[in-house]
Amino acid sequence: MSAKDKFHNSVKNALIKDGWTITHDPLEFEVGDVSVSIDLGAENILAAEKQGKKIAVEIKSFLGASNIYEFHTALGQFLNYRLVLDEEEPSRILYLAIPKETRETFFKKEFVQKSVRVHSVRLIVYDAEKEEIVEWIS
């Protein structure tokens, strides 16, 4: 099992506050001879317009020395996890959760924006301190 991100519980609590039910912590799959562990699986059963919507969330803190290195790692995980979900649970939508500070700085860079757009990365922007979802970006 992989280590939980520093803000794992903050994002989990933020999703619960936003009306999501956590269904898996972590969401795990066996694909051939490879084990995959996505940070969270959630289902929103409270809001009528989201009834039955299922998501998977990979949480990143971007607290390391190199944001671009962490971005490369996060993007690679996201793309591989999306492949797994397409095969194993196609009704579940994958999101990458990032801190609001990272959204306001690093994710404003042209290269990062283009990469997110080209690879169709869905984002959840979270405030770790307040344990709140700031923005959903599809």
Residue 52's CATH number: 3.40.1350.10
**Each residue's pLDDT tens digit, 10-53:** 999 999 999 898 999 999 999 989 999 999 998 865 443 345 78
Give Cα 122 distance to the centre of its chain: 8
**Each residue's pLDDT tens digit, 72-121:** 999 999 999 999 999 999 999 999 999 999 999 999 999 999 999 999 99
| 69 assigned to some structural domain | yes
pLDDT at 51: 55
Output the pTM of the full model.
0.91
- Specify whether the CB–CB gap between 31 and 87 falls below 8 A: yes
pLDDT at 50: 47
Question: Does the pLDDT value for residue 5 go beyond 90?
Answer: no
Mean pLDDT of 61-79: 95
pLDDT at 76: 97
Three-state DSSP at 125 gives: strand
Is the dihedral angle over the CA atoms 120, 54, 84, 12 positive or is it negative? positive
| 105 assigned to some structural domain | yes
Query: What span, in angstroms and rounded, lies between the C-alpha atoms of 22 and 44?
Result: 9
| 59 assigned to some structural domain | yes
In total, how many domains does the chain have?
Answer: 1
- Specify whether the CB–CB gap between 52 and 43 falls below 8 A: yes
| 2 assigned to some structural domain | no
Question: Does the pLDDT value for residue 2 go beyond 90?
Answer: no
